[in-house]
Amino acid sequence: MYNKTDLKNKLESIHRKSYPAYKSLRGSYTFGDFVLSIDHVQGDPFAAPSSLHVELPLAKAGFPEKYFEGRHTKTALEDLILRKFSRALDQYSFKAKGSGKSGLISTSRPGPEVMRRTAVEFTEKLLIVRFEVGFPANGRTINAQELEKILLDFLPQIVKKCLYYQAWDKRLVQEGFELAENQQKIREVLEERKLVAFCANGSILPRKSGVSSQPLKDAVAFESPKSMELAIDLPFGGSIFGMGIPEGVTLIIGGGYHGKSTLLQALEQGVYNHVKGDGREYVITRVNALKLRAEDGRAVSNLDLSLFIHDLPNGKDTHCFSTEDASGSTSQAAGVMEGIEAGTSCFLIDEDTSATNFLVRDAFMQRVVSGEQEPITPFIARVRDLYEKAGISTILVAGSSGAFFHVADTIIQMDAYRPKDVKAKVQELLPEYPSVDFKCNTEPFVLPSEKRMFEMERKAKRHGRGDREERIKTKVMGTDGFSIEHNMVDLRYVEQLIDSEQMAALAAILKYIVKKGAVSMEMQVLVAEICSLLEKKGMTDFVDGALSCGYAYPRKEEIFMMLDRFRRG
């Protein structure tokens, strides 16, 4: 291993040479307490920045062991360090000058959600922090003196300020630990008390705007209806009070702009922990809850849709259904079946983003178009069975159809962002509005018995000299999806994917599968193997070369959704 003097000498030796000479810097350099590794060097000053990481022994970093003993507290500490490290890098970014990306210093920039990321990771012995640097140049001529500023001057200052416990405000670290412990306790209570979600009194649910994750200033604070209020004893801070949403079928109603969708959006993002000050840090939802919506034009592969779609006029078998261009109702039926396969315990649905003919059919329409003529069994006819026979709850936002009143266990009305329990009021009115028999001409509720296979016939191509494998290219499009070998995987409507780094991780996972060549495996087995690798070895096996910053670990449910939307062949 080299030392920082060796790095300084190397920099002096390549100053004013052509840009490719920077590649000679690759390697590891000890700075005393920490080691700097230059993992990948960009090809020119206009290319993606170079990848570097810092390693610091845990004993030197000095953070108390209790902070990274549990996965939830370890992730919280990693997130806290990342936010401070990212802010520190911003203070020095582009202070070194040059062409293109010269002088850029950056790492991951998390939103309010706390996620496990590759940017900062604790291993058994090390604290590892990954980041990017734009190696400076004038034109395409190396300016090593500017890089020397970054690596030998700026970086040691940043490491000293961010990666040593002695430099931290101990109160902030403890607060992050306590919040993570409290959030984990609430998640455990959800299971114990048969709840699917909890929303604490005082939470701020509205966001600043449709494109902002910041809480809305002067927003109405959430306050649970007394009939639904419960207390949870937390490890830190005493008891917390809020609304518990029980298992079963929950209906969220109310007039337009009164907060129905705002509540649902908070619940769908409650699968992630949130940072202090976000307003939703104590909005907690079952970690495997799944948001469903219509996705016109999506691909469906070998799914048993017979619970919802059957007796098609063209005679096509819906027990093993495939299409390259699904309708809204077919896509939403597919989403339900995929969620069942993924093991979800709660569906989250908004009427506004659903296919109307999938959710419900009114009595008049049933009189005109008889059951024998309608191949779609609406969701309302299955929602009770999904809970009673499959253990899957549903939280549904409805603004126009009252049909779901007849099947709901819990009914919440949002009135100017204030929730009200109106179940008793609705029960008084139900006799005036008889329910429709949605189960006439409906197939029995039977979950698919055969395990679905993930089939891919692609063989790894070879080209060029020797037996070198082809390079498989992926390109991430923010949170919309990614392309692999010019094949777009459209994930725009998988709404719980909220970070482009999750998308980058999914692209890497799919690339790993594609590189294997032909695959024939049960979908559940394949996803289980991927999740096991992620838990044991992180993203290491899914990337080419050294691991960089820029990946956030997806949930198991998103891995299922990604594989289902991959048009393979």
pLDDT digits (tens, 9 = 90+) for 98-125: 999 999 999 999 999 999 999 999 999 9
Domain boundary among 168, 200, 219: 168
Collapsing DSSP states into helix, strand and coil, what is residue 232? strand
Residue 212 lies in a domain: no
Domain boundary among 432, 465, 482: 432
What pLDDT does 516 receive? Answer: 87
Structural contact between residues 361 and 374, judged by C-beta atoms closer than 8 angstroms:
yes
Residues 427 and 531 in one domain: no
Residue 234 lies in a domain: no
Residues 19 and 74 in one domain: yes
**Per-residue pLDDT tens over the stretch 81-94:** 999 999 999 999 99
Pick from 358, 365, 292: which is nearest to 327 by CA? 358
Q: How would you class 515 by CB atoms within 10 Å of its CB: exposed for 0-12, middle for 13-18, buried for 19 or more?
A: middle
Domain boundary among 143, 168, 193: 168
* Structural domain that includes position 379: 290-432
Q: Residue 389 pLDDT > 70, yes or no?
A: yes
Residue 274 lies in a domain: no
Report how far apart, in Å, the C-alpha atoms of 324 and of each of 300, 301, 440, 564 are. 6, 8, 31, 12
Least confident of 72-76, 97-101, 277-281, 292-296: 97-101
What pLDDT does 317 receive? Answer: 87
Averaged over 300-326, what is the pLDDT? 88
Residue 403 lies in a domain: yes
Residues 399 and 490 in one domain: no
Measure the CA–CA gap between 265 and 193, rounded to whole angstroms: 23
Residues 492 and 390 in one domain: no
Average of per-residue pLDDT values in the chain? 93
Residues 313 and 398 in one domain: yes
Residues 312 and 405 in one domain: yes
Count: domains in the chain: 3
Residues 15 and 109 in one domain: yes
Q: What string of DSSP letters covers 410-469?
A: EEEEEETTEEEE-HHHHHHHGGGSPPP-TTTT--------SPPEEEE-PPPPB-SSTTPB
**Per-residue pLDDT tens over the stretch 230-288:** 999 999 999 999 999 999 999 999 999 999 999 999 999 999 999 999 999 999 999 99
Residue 534 lies in a domain: yes
Measure the CA–CA gap between 150 and 192, rounded to whole angstroms: 52
What pLDDT does 505 receive? Answer: 98
Residues 371 and 467 in one domain: no
Task: Strands of 149-299 (E only): list them.
Answer: 195-200, 229-233, 239-246, 249-253, 273-274, 283-285, 290-292
Structural contact between residues 222 and 200, judged by C-beta atoms closer than 8 angstroms:
yes
What pLDDT does 364 receive? Answer: 64
Band (74; pLDDT cuts 50, 70, 90): very high
Residues 387 and 487 in one domain: no
What pTM, to 2 d.p., does this model score? 0.95
Residues 353 and 480 in one domain: no
Residues 362 and 473 in one domain: no
Measure the CA–CA gap between 266 and 222, rounded to whole angstroms: 11
What pLDDT does 467 receive? Answer: 46
**Per-residue pLDDT tens over the stretch 422-470:** 999 999 999 998 887 765 556 789 999 889 999 988 655 544 444 455 6
Measure the CA–CA gap between 417 and 414, rounded to whole angstroms: 6
Residue 203 lies in a domain: no
**Per-residue pLDDT tens over the stretch 357-371:** 899 877 666 666 655
The helix or strand, by DSSP H or E, that contains position 73, with its residue range, turns out to be: helix 71-92
Residue 337 lies in a domain: yes
Residue 281 lies in a domain: no
**Per-residue pLDDT tens over the stretch 195-216:** 999 999 999 999 998 888 899 9
What pLDDT does 463 receive? Answer: 47
**Per-residue pLDDT tens over the stretch 36-57:** 999 999 999 999 999 999 999 9
Residues 367 and 311 in one domain: yes
